[in-house]
């Protein structure tokens, strides 16, 4: 099925509920619908057509259309299609029916557009705040066009909403800082004895406002460098994804050599990320030999990346139209030498895992994520592929030079921590093979296309990249003043974290850190905490003022 055929099918099924259908790029379908029919159409895409939910977006278009735009994004992976389901909402009564009751993975995205744009998802089963801090003022929505990007509103009185624990259970807080995880996170774990019976997550306390800055201050070619700061590990992924979106919207064809160079850097980034993750996973389960050895293996790769780009991690190579730096032929042998040594040591490590009783005891049969649960919550990357979900953007929606290379999906069906580990071990070896292919096949030629015309306003584009953690998604709606009108980013952790609470149910409390860590989550930092008075049982949340008044 092509995007045009899918659009025609929707028009035939829903008639005048479909207001507009557009497919300006291959594999992209933009459908505008009556907002009252959003639940019906979303359910049809998911249940009848087998589409996978990706994310939601809220856009303030009151200046252009006198409306708010709510968008639900889906993917039809077997046909290589992304679908944007647009619905315009009246500015005087900003409400739209919630699709979460029929598409559970839409939970966070709907709560986010309520927080950031002020459109209410009516019928949402958990309408608590998601992104905004508990003490953020009511009726102040940061992504509305008339709210300044640098606003610092006064702290509002608040009573934080917390999910109550099941009757008879106790609350064990993990976070906001937990030294075995690479970043702060705050989980409230509900336990009966040593068994986890539920969980609740509260994050986003350190929201950086990158989407807001990208649509109000920065220009098109400045954004790639801040996009790299979205994630400290997947920087090249995000800058590639953003640049691809703009190039697609503007009809810019980048040189083939630039596509190969992006592919090489993306795969080097994947290898160093999986090396980093395996070391931290060893640390989480108390096996620091794994941490020391794997991070020792990672160091030559970091030095290699510095030679190729000038930076160990934040490469700053991508710009709209291609890349800023070429890889000279005299560096090819260095790349081959480094990945060959990593391959040798990685294979030895891989071969030792089945006989290691410590690793097997902590990984096999723990952190169970059944395939149906992974599909329901739209888990991506090694988290999904470790539960038998065969989704890899490099194969299903190829970009850069992946359509010219042999890329194998790494899938295991164990549904546990071991399966997710094995996916990453396999992927590292596959990445090494991809880099070798790319070095052998890379063509001569320029690395940057000349962009001589302004990017027209009012165009939209969807771009995705397979990050080490899973699918990264960027949607761009081009605007005036040489910057996007809207830039929506969804990192893979945003999708995967939503499945953590149901996944933890039934596990042992001692396994919770590695169960969470097996997803390789990337959290936003937080400086809040909860205090439980063990005498009265009262639970309260400390404010910034409370913390500043603390005395030793």
463-483 pLDDT, tens digit each? 999 999 999 999 999 999 999
Domain locations along the chain: 3-158, 210-490
pLDDT at residue 221, as a whole number: 92
| 357 has pLDDT over 90 | no
- Name the 3-class secondary structure at 98: coil
**289, 463 in Cβ contact below 8 A?**
no
Q: How far is the C-alpha of 516 from the C-alpha of 381, rounded, in Å?
A: 15
The pLDDT tens digits of the residues spanning 191-244 come to 999 999 999 988 786 667 888 888 888 999 999 999 998 888 889 999 999 999
Instruction: Locate 66 and state its tokens.
Output: 């006198």
Residue 216, phi then psi, degrees to nearest 5: -135, -20
pLDDT at residue 153, as a whole number: 87
The pLDDT tens digits of the residues spanning 394-408 come to 999 999 999 999 999
The domain defined by 3-158 carries CATH number 3.90.1150.10: no
Q: What order do you get walking across the sheet with 460-467 strand by strand?
A: 460-467, 470-478, 484-490
pLDDT at residue 551, as a whole number: 44
| 164 has pLDDT over 70 | yes
Across residues 367-385, what is the average pLDDT?
Answer: 96
| 547 has pLDDT over 50 | no
Across residues 531-543, what is the average pLDDT?
Answer: 46
What is the rounded average pLDDT for all residues in the chain? 90
The pLDDT tens digits of the residues spanning 412-435 come to 999 999 999 999 999 999 999 999
The pLDDT tens digits of the residues spanning 34-74 come to 999 999 999 999 999 999 999 999 999 999 999 999 999 99
Q: Which of 118-122, 155-159, 528-532 has the highest mean pLDDT?
A: 118-122
Please state the pTM of the whole predicted model.
Answer: 0.91
Q: How far is the C-alpha of 461 from the C-alpha of 355, rounded, in Å?
A: 48
Which residue in this structure is represented by tokens 């945003």? 494
| 552 has pLDDT over 70 | no
Residue 443 — very low, low, confident or very high, per pLDDT cuts 50/70/90? Answer: very high
| 494 has pLDDT over 70 | yes
- Name the 3-class secondary structure at 377: coil
- Name the 3-class secondary structure at 77: helix
H-helix or E-strand spanning residue 275: helix 256-284
Residue 529 — very low, low, confident or very high, per pLDDT cuts 50/70/90? Answer: very low
Which CATH superfamily, name and number, covers 210-490?
Cytochrome-c3 Hydrogenase, chain B (1.10.645.10)
| 148 has pLDDT over 60 | yes
- In eight-state DSSP terms, residue 478 is E
Give every CB contact of residue 143 below 8 A, 6+ residues apart in sequence.
Answer: 58, 59, 60, 116, 117, 211, 212
The pLDDT tens digits of the residues spanning 100-138 come to 999 999 999 999 999 999 999 999 999 999 988 888 898
Which of 285, 136, 124, 158 has the alpha carbon at shortest distance from 204?
A: 136
H-helix or E-strand spanning residue 18: strand 18-22
What is the per-residue burial (b if ≥16 Cβ within 10 Å, else e) of 174-199?
A: bbbebeebbbbbbbbbbbeeeebbbb
pLDDT at residue 275, as a whole number: 95
Q: How far is the C-alpha of 58 from the C-alpha of 70, rounded, in Å?
A: 5
Do the domains 3-158 and 210-490 sit in the same CATH topology, yes or no? no
- Name the 3-class secondary structure at 399: coil
Q: How far is the C-alpha of 196 from the C-alpha of 207, rounded, in Å?
A: 29
Sequential DSSP letters for 198-253: EEEE---TT---HHHHHHHT--TTTHHHHHTTS-SSSHHHHHHHHHHHHHHHHTPP
pLDDT at residue 300, as a whole number: 96
In 125-201, the DSSP E strands lie at 170-174, 187-192, 195-201
pLDDT at residue 232, as a whole number: 80
pLDDT > 90 fraction of the chain, expressed in percent and rounded: 73
Residue 33 — very low, low, confident or very high, per pLDDT cuts 50/70/90? Answer: very high
**373, 386 in Cβ contact below 8 A?**
no
**367, 514 in Cβ contact below 8 A?**
yes
**409, 390 in Cβ contact below 8 A?**
yes
Which of 519, 529, 419, 535 has the alpha carbon at shortest distance from 467?
A: 519
The stretches of 310-416 forming alpha helices (DSSP H) are 332-352, 357-363, 371-376, 381-385, 393-396
Residue 179 — very low, low, confident or very high, per pLDDT cuts 50/70/90? Answer: low
- In eight-state DSSP terms, residue 318 is E
């Amino acid at each position: 099925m092509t995007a045009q055929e899918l659009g025609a099918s929707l028009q035939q099924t829903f008639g005048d509920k479909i207001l507009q259908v557009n497919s300006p790029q291959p594999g992209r379908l933009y459908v505008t619908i009556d907002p009252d029919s959003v639940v019906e159409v979303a359910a049809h895409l998911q249940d009848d057509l087998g589409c996978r939910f990706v994310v939601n977006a809220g856009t303030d278009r009151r200046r252009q259309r006198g409306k708010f735009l709510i968008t639900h994004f889906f993917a039809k992976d077997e046909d290589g299609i992304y679908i944007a389901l647009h619905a315009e909402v009246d500015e005087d009564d900003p409400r739209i029916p919630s699709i979460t009751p029929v598409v559970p993975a839409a939970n966070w995205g709907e709560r986010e557009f309520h927080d950031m744009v002020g459109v209410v998802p009516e019928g949402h089963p958990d309408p608590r705040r998601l992104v905004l801090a508990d003490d953020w003022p009511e009726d102040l929505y940061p992504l509305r066009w008339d709210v300044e990007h640098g606003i610092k509103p006064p702290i509002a009185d608040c009573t934080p909403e917390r999910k109550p624990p099941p009757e008879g259970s106790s609350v064990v807080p993990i976070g906001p800082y937990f030294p075995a995880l690479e970043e702060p996170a705050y989980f409230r774990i509900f336990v009966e004895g040593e068994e986890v019976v539920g969980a609740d997550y509260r994050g986003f306390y350190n929201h950086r406002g990158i989407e807001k800055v990208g649509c109000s201050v920065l220009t098109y070619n400045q954004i790639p460098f801040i996009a790299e700061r979205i994630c400290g590990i997947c920087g090249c992924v995000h800058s590639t994804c953003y640049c691809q979106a703009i190039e697609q919207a503007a009809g810019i064809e980048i040189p083939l050599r630039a596509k190969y160079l992006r592919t090489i850097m993306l795969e080097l980034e994947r290898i160093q990320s999986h090396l980093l993750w395996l070391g931290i996973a060893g640390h989480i389960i108390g096996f620091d030999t794994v941490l020391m050895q794997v991070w020792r293996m990672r160091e030559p790769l970091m030095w290699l990346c510095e030679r190729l780009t000038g930076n160990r991690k934040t490469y700053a190579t991508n710009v709209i139209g291609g890349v800023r730096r070429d890889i000279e032929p005299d560096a090819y042998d260095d790349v081959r030498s480094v990945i060959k040594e990593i391959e040798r040591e990685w294979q030895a490590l891989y071969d030792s895992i089945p006989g290691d009783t410590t690793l097997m005891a902590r990984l096999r049969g723990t952190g169970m994520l059944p395939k149906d649960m992974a599909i329901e919550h739209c888990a991506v990357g090694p988290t999904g592929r470790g539960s038998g979900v065969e989704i890899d953007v490099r194969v299903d929606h190829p970009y850069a030079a992946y359509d010219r290379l042999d890329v194998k999906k790494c899938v295991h069906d164990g549904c546990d921590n071991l399966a997710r580990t094995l996916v990453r071990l396999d992927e590292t070896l596959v990445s090494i093979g991809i880099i070798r292919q790319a070095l052998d096949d890379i063509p001569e030629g320029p690395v940057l296309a000349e962009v001589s015309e302004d990017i027209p306003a009012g165009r939209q584009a969807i771009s995705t990249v397979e990050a080490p953690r899973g699918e990264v998604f960027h949607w761009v709606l081009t605007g005036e003043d040489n910057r996007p009108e809207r830039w929506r980013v969804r990192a893979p952790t945003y999708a995967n974290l939503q499945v953590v609470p149901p996944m933890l149910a039934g596990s042992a409390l001692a396994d919770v850190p590695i169960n969470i860590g097996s997803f390789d989550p990337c959290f936003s930092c937080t400086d809040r905490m909860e205090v439980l008075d063990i005498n009265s049982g009262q639970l309260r949340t400390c404010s910034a003022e409370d913390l500043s008044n603390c005395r030793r």
